[in-house]
């Protein structure tokens, strides 16, 4: 299957999910996660009309950025080590994994202009999942007030990889509830209007629960 064929299927599924909960298609931004593919397949993604690209490693991102540059809107979706911030922070448009003050301090030091960030929140009990606990997220966001290079545009989470739809849905519902709490604080640096949640196995559920950014890899671009 080509990227274009996969995209046609995904767009149908996104439209159906939006219809089920009376949402508009233009509320959803599809981030094509190109971390598992090379230049040729990434170019196929761009040719299909998708401009939001997601990478999770410095090396992979820098290789593609050197090739495509400002033809794409770049999302860094993996954990970003503080010591490697300087390598990528002025080239990416969105960071989906802000989860500690040491990272925020390094971004503040290295970034030339404000960057749109998602605060990563852990909504499941899986040990492998990264992010802030729900209970510590609001205090963390308050502490970001000192960094004028960071704009908290939203929250991000990853649901467990499971067939238990209720478990997945619960994770997304928790994030949406937390988003509302942050919005109610009326913080100028943290409008928190976006929800980055939903991947290849659960993106339709995420849309039903309020996702505005979905991150699709395998189902869209496959693997190389």
Q: pTM for the complete prediction?
A: 0.96
Which pLDDT score is estimated for 1? 86
pLDDT in tens, 51-104: 999 999 999 999 999 999 999 999 999 999 999 999 999 999 999 999 999 999
Structural domain boundaries of the chain? 3-221
Which pLDDT score is estimated for 125? 76
| CA-angle at 121, arms to 64 and 52, nearest 5° | 25
- CATH fold, domain 3-221, is TIM Barrel (3.20.20)
pLDDT along the chain (224 residues), means of 10: 95 98 97 95 97 96 96 96 95 98 98 98 82 96 98 97 95 98 98 98 98 97 82
- DSSP string for 2-29: -HHHHHHHHHHHHHHHHHHTT--GGG-E
d(CA 173, CA 82): 30
Which pLDDT score is estimated for 95? 98
């Amino acid at each position: 299957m080509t990227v274009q064929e996969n995209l046609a299927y995904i767009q149908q599924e996104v439209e159906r999910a939006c219809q089920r909960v009376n949402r508009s298609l233009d509320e959803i931004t599809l981030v094509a996660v190109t971390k598992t593919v090379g230049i040729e397949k990434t170019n196929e993604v761009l040719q299909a009309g998708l401009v939001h690209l997601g990478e999770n490693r410095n090396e992979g991102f820098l290789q593609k950025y050197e090739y495509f540059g400002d033809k794409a809107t770049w999302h860094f979706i993996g954990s970003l080590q503080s010591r490697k911030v300087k390598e990528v922070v002025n080239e990416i448009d969105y960071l989906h994994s802000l989860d500690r003050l040491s990272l925020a301090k390094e971004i503040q030091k290295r970034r030339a202009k404000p960057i749109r960030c998602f605060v990563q929140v852990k909504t499941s009990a899986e040990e492998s999942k990264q992010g802030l606990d729900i209970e510590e997220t609001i205090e963390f966001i308050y502490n970001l007030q000192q960094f004028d290079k960071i704009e908290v545009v939203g929250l991000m989470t990853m649901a467990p990889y499971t067939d238990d739809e209720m478990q997945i849905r619960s994770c997304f519902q928790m994030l949406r509830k937390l988003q509302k709490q942050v919005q109610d604080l009326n913080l100028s640096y943290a409008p928190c209007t976006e929800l980055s949640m939903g991947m290849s196995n659960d993106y339709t559920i995420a849309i039903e629960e309020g996702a505005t950014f979905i991150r699709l890899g395998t189902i869209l671009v496959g693997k190389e």
